[in-house]
């Protein structure tokens, strides 16, 4: 058998394997839709399909598609990327000039959303494929976890609701209490501490008037929701799943207003609010130990590196035992990093764009350290390398992202 025949045979085997993987994935997704996939958090393997199934085997066919998956860099390509970063990082912006980008971060993003509205980013319809954890699992398989989580929420309830700054915005109060002008509807009265330890309170679910989504059995928070490019694909998934509730926040009031004004926004299943994740003293409109899932997609990169750890620490406290933080962001040497010009570097691997918004570029090791220091167990942490091509201009561009899944232990040490 000559080399050509061996190569053709190898390609046939690869095609057959990918076809089988595709069938397995489709079956797993159909199971996820009805909530019957146990151990779904054990997803440490590389994503395969559909976003991860297009493998470039013939370099001559590189311009036949817009994107190729699981690209291996040559030593020359990595060296060239490293050199480019060294060049655009050689001159850093003076510290006294950097202060404005930190202090006025929300203003820069407000301006961004005033200009672009909801037309800049595409909806993230790939979320379910990469993060099936967004879907609630079968209640029977998580009974013990939910009981433990409920007790955890009750423990933290008094702490949250006793803080004077843990208030609920007027719009959210109306959404959970009914029409504000109705004299017969329930009103926000706060938490009744006299019944906190009663037998009845321990056995019954949390009441809906305690906080938005208080009666939900599965709660998600998206941090840095922007104009809702993740919010509405998630709401579309959850609309036939009673008991699910989505929180979404952004420190840009313009972005939050875009979400609330969207025709698909449903206050009965979603609460959008303005929040700065870097503001340690400002509470969320729900108690600690409440969330099943936290979503950090291209958000942490906009936070100053010195504040990233405290942000993840705070989000970890919001999770129930067994809850997940799902992460995806820019990886080191992504084309976005290579395109920065000299004079845009704030600090090592941290840059400011022309509009004043910022971006950091991660390694797997950095992501591991940040999330594990927050007391979370690593379930997935991978570098997703792809080759994006401009078929018209015949240009090739390397995309690098880091994706991770981190779980809060069921029992703290």
What mean pLDDT comes out for the span 386-402? 89
CA distance 190 to 234: 30
Query: Which tokens hold the place of 79?
Result: 């060296």
Do the bridges between strand 350-352 and strand 358-360 make them parallel or antiparallel, or are there none, so unpaired? Answer: antiparallel
- The CA distances from residue 96 to 14, 100, 106, 142, in Å, are 55, 8, 19, 51
For residue range 254-311, list pLDDT tens digits in order: 889 999 998 889 999 999 999 988 887 788 999 999 999 999 999 999 999 999 999 9
Helix, strand, or coil here: 195? helix
Query: Which tokens hold the place of 138?
Result: 């079968």
Query: Which of 21-30, 46-55, 319-328 is least confident?
Result: 21-30
CB of 334 closer than 8 Å to CB of 400: yes
Helices 105-116 and 95-103 pack at an angle, to 10 degrees, of 60
C-alpha 222 chain-centroid distance: 6
CA distance 272 to 174: 13
C-alpha 164 chain-centroid distance: 29
CA dihedral 246, 193, 165, 170 (to 10 degrees): 60
Average pLDDT, the chain: 76
Q: Which residue has the tokens 């929701």?
A: 225
Helices 253-260 and 105-116 pack at an angle, to 10 degrees, of 40
CB of 318 closer than 8 Å to CB of 382: no
CA distance 55 to 42: 24
Query: Which tokens hold the place of 137?
Result: 């699992």
Query: Which of 23-32, 130-139, 166-175, 271-280 is least confident?
Result: 166-175
What mean pLDDT comes out for the span 92-113? 81
Concatenated DSSP letters for 104-124? THHHHHHHHHHHHTTSSSPP-
- The CA distances from residue 404 to 12, 41, 281, in Å, are 32, 11, 27
| Banded pLDDT at 95 (limits 50, 70, 90) | confident
| Banded pLDDT at 209 (limits 50, 70, 90) | low
The 8-class DSSP code of residue 35 comes to T
**Does residue 248 carry a pLDDT above 90?**
yes
Peptide bond into 81 cis (omega under 30): no
The Cβ-side half-sphere exposure at 269, using a 13 Å CA radius, reads 17
User: What is the pLDDT, as a whole number, of residue 120?
Assistant: 58
Q: Which residues are bridge partners to 407 per DSSP?
A: 324, 377
| Short-list 376, 388, 391, CA closest to 314 | 376
Q: Give the residue, 393 or 367, on which the prediction is more confident.
A: 367
Is the model's pTM score more than 0.85?
Answer: no
User: What is the pLDDT, as a whole number, of residue 211?
Assistant: 86
CA distance 23 to 34: 18
Q: Which residue segments constitute the domains of the chain, with CATH numbers given? A: 1-70 (no CATH), 74-407 (3.40.50.150)
- The CA distances from residue 178 to 208, 209, 213, 364, in Å, are 11, 10, 14, 46
Residues for the chain: how many in total? 413
């Amino acid at each position: 058998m000559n080399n050509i025949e061996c190569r053709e045979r190898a390609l046939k085997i690869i095609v057959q394997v990918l076809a089988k993987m595709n069938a397995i994935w489709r079956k797993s997704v159909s199971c996820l839709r009805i909530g019957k996939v146990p151990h779904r958090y054990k997803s440490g393997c590389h994503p395969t399909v559909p976003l991860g199934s297009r493998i470039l085997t013939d370099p001559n066919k590189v311009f036949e598609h817009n994107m190729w998956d699981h690209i291996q860099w040559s030593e020359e390509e990595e060296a060239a990327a490293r050199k480019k970063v060294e060049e655009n990082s050689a001159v850093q912006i003076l510290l006294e000039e950097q202060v404005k980008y930190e202090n006025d971060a929300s203003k820069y993003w407000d301006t961004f959303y005033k200009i672009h509205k909801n037309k800049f980013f595409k909806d993230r319809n790939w979320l379910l494929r990469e993060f099936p954890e967004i879907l609630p699992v079968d209640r029977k398989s998580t009974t013990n976890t939910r009981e433990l989580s409920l007790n955890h929420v009750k423990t933290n309830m008094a702490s949250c609701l006793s803080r004077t700054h843990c208030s609920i915005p007027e719009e959210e109060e109306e959404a959970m209490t009914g029409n504000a002008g109705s004299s017969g509807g329930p009103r926000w009265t706060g938490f009744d501490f006299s019944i906190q330890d009663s037998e009845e309170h321990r056995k019954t679910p949390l009441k809906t008037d305690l906080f938005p989504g208080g009666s939900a059995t599965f709660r998600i928070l998206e941090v840095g929701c922007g104009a809702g490019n993740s919010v509405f694909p998630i709401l579309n998934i959850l609309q036939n799943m009673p008991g699910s509730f989505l929180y979404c926040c952004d420190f840009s009031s313009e972005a939050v207003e875009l979400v609330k004004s969207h025709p698909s926004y449903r206050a009965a299943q979603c609460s959008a609010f303005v929040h700065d994740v870097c503001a340690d003293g400002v509470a969320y409109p729900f108690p600690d130990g409440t969330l099943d899932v936290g979503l950090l997609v291209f958000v942490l990169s906009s936070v100053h590196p010195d504040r990233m750890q405290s942000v993840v620490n705070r989000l970890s406290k919001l999770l129930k035992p067994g809850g997940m933080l799902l992460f995806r962001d820019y990886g080191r040497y992504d084309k976005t990093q290579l395109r920065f010009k000299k004079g845009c570097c704030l600090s090592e691997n941290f840059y400011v764009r022309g509009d004043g918004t910022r971006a950091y570029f991660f390694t797997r090791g950095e992501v591991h350290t940040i999330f594990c220091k927050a007391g979370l167990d690593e379930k997935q942490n991978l570098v997703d390398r792809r080759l994006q091509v401009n078929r018209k201009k015949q240009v090739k561009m390397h995309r690098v992202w880091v994706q991770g899944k981190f779980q809060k232990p069921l029992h703290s040490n």
